[in-house]
Amino acid sequence: MRLRLERFNVEPAKVRSLLRWSTTRARTAVAWRRAGARAGRTVRGAGRVTATLLAASALLWWFTGTAATQPLASPEPPSNLIAVPADLGIYLQWDASPTPVRQISEYRIERFREGDSAAVIIRRVPAGQLSHFDSTGLGGVEYRYRVRARDWFLNDSPWSDPAFATYRDPEAPAPPDSISVTVNPRGLFVDWVANQEPDLAEYRVYRAEEGQALQQVAAREQTQYLDREALTAVPYVYRVTAVDLSGNESPPSDSVLGFIPDGIPPGRVTGFVAEGTAKG
């Protein structure tokens, strides 16, 4: 290369400068082309976003009959709410809000029971659905229901007039388990393991002298009973049932036999639990 440059009387420094200039121009041209391509993609993307927004605005106009920038008044409330008890649930039905259905997005169902700190929304149903079956309550409990409409702008209507119904549970609890009888200085102490049903109301204790019919002697919320009327040296048979809030009574537990022997000295007897204390 050097020989050729000397032959044509060209200085090497000038050639190197020319090469650097040419390379810089080429890189600049490539950079401009890339920038132009990116700008084109940005413009095309902005066009697609604009088209999407226009389509959404047109769709919203069709649903609501008003411009997207114009706020809607709150919907009118639904009416004629009824609550009808059924097995394992409560059937709810209401009339639609007078507000056009295309403006309503959903109905919200509220439930409240005495003793709760606040009402809860138990269900949201589409605007075209005007009924709901509530199967999540507790048997024997009275609930208050209300319904309101919500539009596409998240405006809520006033609540409907309330409707009341009591959850009906046709299934009886399981019989109590692990019944035992121990001697107490004041009588016979009967206890058992607690049931797990959430709607349990009470336990009923039945007693009979051996060979006679059972008779109820107590109804208790606790899992223990002290029979102060038991007589010395008289055998007694005990059975316990569980009752839920709907009044369903379980089958009786297994029978257990207890009696107070003659000649028990006064004082503490090992193995009993005093009335009103937890078993431990």
Considering the chain, what is the average pLDDT of its residues?
80
Q: What is the pLDDT of residue 69?
A: 47
Span 224-243, mean pLDDT? 93
Q: What is the CA radius of gyration of the chain?
A: 41
Name the band, by pLDDT with cuts 50, 70 and 90, for residue 46.
Answer: low
Q: pLDDT at position 228, please?
A: 92
CB count, 10 Å around CB of 66? 13
Distances (CA, A) of 172 to 36, 136, 224, 239, 246: 78, 17, 21, 17, 9
Give the tokens for residue 239.
Answer: 């059975």
Q: Average of pLDDT values for 160-167?
A: 93
Residue bearing the bigger pLDDT, 141 or 54: 141
Measure the CA–CA gap between 236 and 227, rounded to whole angstroms.
10
Q: Model confidence at 278, in pLDDT bands (50, 70, 90)?
A: very low
Highest-confidence segment of 22-31, 76-85, 271-280? 76-85
Pick from 247, 244, 258, 252: which is nearest to 216 by CA? 252
Q: Is the pLDDT of residue 183 over 80?
A: yes
Arithmetic mean of pLDDT, 128-151: 92
% the chain with pLDDT above 70? 68
Supply the pLDDT for residue 272. 37
- Residue 76 confidence (pLDDT) above 80: yes
Per the model's pLDDT, the better-predicted residue between 105 and 279 turns out to be 105
- Residue 266 clears pLDDT 50, i.e. is over it: no
**Which residues neighbour 147 within 8 Å (Cβ) at sequence distance 6 or greater?**
77, 78, 81, 92, 94, 107, 108, 109, 110, 159, 160
Question: Looking at the predicted structure, is the pLDDT value of residue 274 above 50?
Answer: no
Give the pLDDT confidence score for residue 167 in this predicted structure: 86
At 246, list the tokens: 């709907």
Region 208-232 average pLDDT = 92
Least confident of 66-75, 154-163, 194-203, 268-277: 268-277
- Model pLDDT for residues 16-45, shown as the tens digit of each residue: 665 565 666 667 666 767 766 666 665 455
Between 64-78, 160-174, 185-199, the lowest mean confidence (pLDDT) is in 64-78
Q: Cα–Cα distances in Å, from 255 out to 2, 243, 249, 251? A: 119, 18, 17, 12
Q: Which two tokens stand for residue 238?
A: 């005990």
- What's residue 211's pLDDT? 81
- Separation between Cα atoms, residue 89 and residue 206, nearest integer Å: 32
Check whether 259 has a pLDDT greater than 80.
Answer: yes
d(CA 165, CA 155) in angstroms, rounded, equals 28
pLDDT value at 90 more than 60: yes
Q: What's residue 171's pLDDT?
A: 85
List, for residues 105-139, the tens digit of each pLDDT value: 999 999 999 888 899 999 999 999 999 999 988 88
Burial string for 149-159 (b: 16+ CB within 10 Å, else e) reads bbbebebebeb
DSSP H or E stretch at residue 244: strand 236-244
- With beta carbons less than 8 A apart as the criterion, state whether 275 and 194 touch: no
pLDDT value at position 162?
Answer: 96
User: Cα(255)–Cα(240) distance, rounded to whole angstroms?
Assistant: 8
Q: How far apart, in whole angstroms, are the C-alpha atoms of residue 174 and residue 228?
A: 27
